[in-house]
Amino acid sequence: MLSRLARLATVHETYPVDAFLLTHPPTIRHLSGYFFNFETGPSPFHLLPAALIALPGSDACLIAADTETGQIATLPPPLEIKLYESYVYERPLDFARQFQIRLHEMITQFGLSKACLGVELKALPVLVQQELSNAFPDIRLVDVSKEVEQLRLSKDPDELEMIQKAVHLCDVGQETLLKEARPGISELELFSCVRTAMEAEAGRRFPLMADFVSGPRTGEAGGGPTNRIIETGELILSDLTPCLDGYWGDTCQTMVVGKPSSIQQTMFQRVKEALHLGIQAIRPGVKASAIDQLMRDHLAGLGTYSHHSGHGVGVVYHEEPRIVPYNDLELSPYMVVALEPGIYRDNQGVRLEHVAVVTENGCELLSRFQHRLTAD
Amino acid sequence: MLSRLARLATVHETYPVDAFLLTHPPTIRHLSGYFFNFETGPSPFHLLPAALIALPGSDACLIAADTETGQIATLPPPLEIKLYESYVYERPLDFARQFQIRLHEMITQFGLSKACLGVELKALPVLVQQELSNAFPDIRLVDVSKEVEQLRLSKDPDELEMIQKAVHLCDVGQETLLKEARPGISELELFSCVRTAMEAEAGRRFPLMADFVSGPRTGEAGGGPTNRIIETGELILSDLTPCLDGYWGDTCQTMVVGKPSSIQQTMFQRVKEALHLGIQAIRPGVKASAIDQLMRDHLAGLGTYSHHSGHGVGVVYHEEPRIVPYNDLELSPYMVVALEPGIYRDNQGVRLEHVAVVTENGCELLSRFQHRLTAD
């Protein structure tokens, strides 16, 4: 974690700011380890989930709500934590003011009252900026959003471990899908089996984005589970994207309940080949666009997909490297890439997805699940 | 919906702004009907979930991502919808710019290039404000957050219907809890039964905040379900807070698996009495603080609770009227109030919660579930 904070020095080379005031939640997770669970929406008792103040190469401080002590207890000790009063019932709520007071205290403590601050303008509320300007009229702000995002491209060992854990939950979910799928079960019931197995593995709830559709709905590529009853011979498409402590996993499986038709077998086989080709091609120096083209070309004639061929995975579920036609970004070691080619035609869809980490001379799969068209 | 937009006129009386530019998601749900599902976090393809531009007493326009057409199709027709390009894979992502272009187009179309705009500074990114100022240097901004929030206090018939639907999901969940609770089941398994029944009733997934704890964990008042196995004679505390299309429901039930002890019976009975006293006291003109005191006083001696006695429910799960000691706000018709007294002592906790709407001369319960200490 500390090593990542230190890496802000590279942003400092481009923008010689005096300090960073970072407020974009994925940035905060990435640099400080703090994750605010967004699953039930923004808290009505927070102005922001948190704020991170970091001096290039030295001190850093996280400002967070005093209701978040459970999460904060797990953060590495060198990071200074400043809590502000958030939820109270004995007197009127004053969390916005309390947050600003802490922020201004830290600006003073770090000697930043006339500083140039690197910020993320997209994630900084005008309210915070105005009160900062009122208190410290000489402070200037520089947008460093893009440069800070760049720091996330290659993953550290602890990040790979986090992503591996999230991807493992996908593996558990997809195995459960194969085991529990049967004619007569509803999409929601089947999804519930899958999610329950994943939660039991994690020992708790976590945010879970999912495409979970059956029959003709697979032809639309995605959507949430409904009360639709799954019939013999129908496809089930299960794209599971869990977020464990702020890091995402992501795999997709497609299967048939009962005996697959000839076209289902062909679609599955070709998509599996495309995915395999893509994985084989992953290595340092290869362009994202080349992997995209390889997989699209392999499916040409049989069908197509009007979405990306893949994407990076980390503290955001879709991030660089985007595996898309225009992207000439070259892969490099410790990037994490999800590949997900698909075919959608005649009210049927097949998509298969694996997650891999780029290594020195190829890649290593983080997802262990083996795609199978049927449970047998 | 239109009637609520028209109600911005009352804010206009205090702040004679030329128009409103509103970006706080609960405000947008309340005034326009548009709800961005936050369950998997902010979209990596949005600068903001949406923006609402409204002229006092006349036109209004919602700016939203072109990926959100499903939700937008259900909005009432008088609202103008402007979509911007959000997710693309054929060329680089440009959603932030596309959003700003739409926003600036609407500012021009509505003749607001030198306007005074009522905004929510806490929910307006500096990036949006800066580009607005660059394009229209004569625009001025006035913070109307508090006044816009005030508009949400009393609910319209369509809002009561939405809350009723969300509360109905709570009823389904609590009945399922009573039916499925048994010794040897884990908190997560039991929670999964409860959630699956709620989702089947809704026909889809929805955000669900929940305290779901058993045994000694009930003494801590809350927390998420874990792999903890529930044993005979233990309490289960189930606080279910679902969000259906942007409106929240909220009820809490506490029960025992097996035969309840004498202290469990006493705690349950007293909390039930406190809740009943609170509900009986709800009527127009009564102060929120009076209801708080009534319930706390009834439990004095046996135990206490270090949280609010209740809260408003709507597009935010905890809102005014807060039922807390300091709040002398008087209840008035069509406010929606959740009451949730509790006792936590000696590693055991009981909390019971109902939701009621204030009527002309009392209140009407929106939650139909009958609290029972055991399934028999």
pLDDT in tens, B331-344: 999 999 999 999 99
- Judge whether A126 is closer than 8 Å to chain B, CB to CB: yes
Per cent of chain A over pLDDT 90 is: 90
State mean pLDDT over B133-141.
98
Query: What is the average pLDDT value for chain B, to the nearest integer?
Result: 95
Is A316 near chain B, with CB under 8 Å? yes
Are the C-beta atoms of residues A250 and A313 closer than 8 Å to each other?
Answer: yes
Interface of B with A in 251-280 (CB under 8 A): none
Residue A77 pLDDT: 65
Which string of DSSP letters, residue by residue, matches B221-276? Answer: S-----SPBP-TT-EEEEEEEEEETTEE--EEEEEESSSPPHHHHHHHHHHHHHHH
- Where does chain A have alpha helices with state H? 2-6, 8-14, 25-32, 69-72, 95-109, 126-135, 145-150, 157-180, 187-202, 262-281, 288-299
Q: What pLDDT shows up at residue B74?
A: 77
Percentage above 70 pLDDT, chain A: 99
Banded pLDDT at A2 (limits 50, 70, 90): low
Residue A3: is its pLDDT beyond 80?
A: no
Paired strand residues for B348: B345
pLDDT digits (tens, 9 = 90+) for A179-221: 999 999 999 999 999 999 999 999 999 999 999 999 999 999 9
Q: Is B52 exposed, middle or buried (0-12, 13-18, 19+ CB in 10 A)?
A: buried
Residues of B in contact with A86 (CB under 8 A): none
Q: Which of A66-75, A150-159, B112-121, B199-208 has the lowest mean pLDDT?
A: A66-75
Residue with tokens 């669970």: A37
User: Mean pLDDT across the stretch B30-48?
Assistant: 94
- Res B2: pLDDT: 59
d(CA B262, nearest CA chain A) in Å: 31
What is the reported pLDDT for B75? 81
Of residues B205, B224, B318, nearest to A204 (C-beta):
B224
Q: How far is CA B35 from CA A48, A66, B169, B246, in A?
A: 20, 29, 19, 6
A329-354: b or e for each residue (b if 16 or more CB lie within 10 Å)? bebeebbbbbbbbbbbeeebbbbbbb
The answer to whether residues A80 and A60 touch, using CB atoms and an 8 Å cutoff, is yes
- Chain A residues close to B93, C-beta within 8 Å: 322
Q: Which distant-in-sequence residues (6+ apart) come within 8 Å of A150 by Cβ?
A: none
Q: Do B125 and A122 touch (CB under 8 A)?
A: yes
Query: What is the separation, in whole angstroms, between the first and last Cα of chain B?
Result: 44
Give long-range contacts, CB 8 A cutoff, 24+ apart: B223-228: B224/A204, B224/A205, B225/A199, B225/A204, B225/A205, B225/B186, B225/B187, B225/B188, B225/B190, B225/B191, B226/A203, B226/A204, B226/B186, B226/B187, B226/B188, B227/A200, B227/A203, B227/B186, B227/B187, B227/B188, B228/B186, B228/B187
Q: Is A39 on the interface with B (CB under 8 A)?
A: yes
Region A56-62: mean pLDDT is: 86
Q: How many CB atoms are closer than 10 A to CB A212?
A: 25
pLDDT at B318: 97
B325 to chain A: closest CA residue: A90
- Residue B77: pLDDT band (50, 70, 90) is low
Best of A30, A36, A40, A313 to substitute, by most chain B Cβ atoms within 10 angstroms, is A40
Cβ atoms B340, B252 nearer than 8 A: yes
Q: What is the mean pLDDT of residues A284-298?
A: 98
Q: Mean pLDDT, to the nearest integer, of B105-113?
A: 97
- Label the pairing between strands B19-22 and B50-54: antiparallel
Residue A76 clears pLDDT 90, i.e. is over it: no
* CB of A5 closer than 8 Å to CB of A31: yes
Is 60 exceeded by the pLDDT of residue B139?
Answer: yes
Map tokens 């040897």 to a residue: B184
> Rg of chain A's alpha carbons, rounded to an integer?
23
Structure tokens at B145: 């957050």
The answer to whether residues B291 and B312 touch, using CB atoms and an 8 Å cutoff, is no
For residue B121, give the nearest of A130, A203, A325 by CB distance: A130
- Mutant choice from B89, B176, B201 vs A, greatest count of A C-beta within 10 A: B89
Q: Distance (Å, rounded) from C-alpha A208 to C-alpha B39?
A: 8
Give Cβ neighbours of residue B73 (< 8 Å, ≥ 6 apart).
Answer: none
pLDDT of residue B350: 98
A233–chain B nearest CA distance, Å: 23
The pair phi, psi for residue B144, each rounded to 5°, is -120, 20
Whole-angstrom distance, CA of residue B331 vs CA of residue B353 = 18
Q: Give me the residue label for tokens 């299967």.
A: A255
Q: Which helix (H) or strand (E) holds B336?
A: strand B336-339
pLDDT tier at A75 (50, 70, 90 boundaries)? confident
Residue of A46, A67, A142, A205 to mutate, testing the B interface (most B Cβ within 10 Å of its Cβ): A205
Distance from CA of B276 to the nearest CA of A (A): 21
Q: Which residues does B135 contact at the CB level (< 8 Å), separation at least 6? A: B104, B107
Whether residue B142 contacts residue B116, with contact meaning beta carbons closer than 8 Å, is answered with yes
Q: How confident is the model at residue A10 (pLDDT cuts 50, 70, 90)?
A: confident
A47/B91 Cβ within 8 A: no
- Do residue A127 and residue B143 have CB atoms under 8 angstroms apart? yes
Which residues are registered as beta bridge partners of A119? A21, A143
Mean pLDDT score across all residues of chain A = 95
pLDDT tens-digit map of B285-310: 999 999 999 999 999 999 889 999 99
Of B89, B188, B306, the CB nearest to A199: B188
Q: Identify all chain B residues contacting A189, using CB atoms and an 8 Å cutoff.
A: 196, 200
B217 C-beta neighbours (distance < 10 Å), count: 24
Residues with Cβ within 8 Å of A30's Cβ and at least 6 positions away in sequence, in order, are A4, A151, A152, A314, A315
Query: Whole-structure pTM over 0.90, yes or no?
Result: yes
Nearest to A317 among B44, B93, B141 (CB): B44
Which chain B residue shows the shortest CA-CA distance from A92? Answer: B326
Interface test with A, best of B43, B98, B199, B322 (most A CBs within 10 A): B199
Residue B268 pLDDT: 98
How far, in Å, CA of A63 to CA of A50, rounded? 6
For the segment A38-47, the average pLDDT, to the nearest whole number, is 94
Give the residue carrying structure tokens 């609960």.
Answer: B26
Which residues lie closer than 8 Å to A330 by C-beta, 6 or more apart? Answer: A284, A285, A286, A287, A288
Residue B352 scores a pLDDT above 70: yes
C-alpha B145/C-alpha B251 separation (Å) is 28
Q: Is A285 on the interface with B (CB under 8 A)?
A: no
Q: Is the pLDDT of residue B251 over 60?
A: yes
pLDDT of residue B333: 98
| Cα A271-A277-A283 angle, rounded to 5 deg | 140
| AA identity, residue B172 | V
Instruction: Write out pLDDT tens, residues A86-127.
Output: 999 999 999 999 999 999 999 999 999 999 999 999 999 999
Chain A residue nearest residue B36, CA to CA: A41
Instruction: Give the A:B interface size as CB pairs under 8 Å.
Output: 154
Please name which of A40, A46, A50, A39 lies closest in space to residue A75, comparing C-alpha atoms: A50
Reading the block at residue B46, the tokens are 């949005």
Distance from C-alpha of A260 to C-alpha of A38, rounded to nearest angstrom: 39
* Interchain pair A89, B308: CB under 8 A: yes
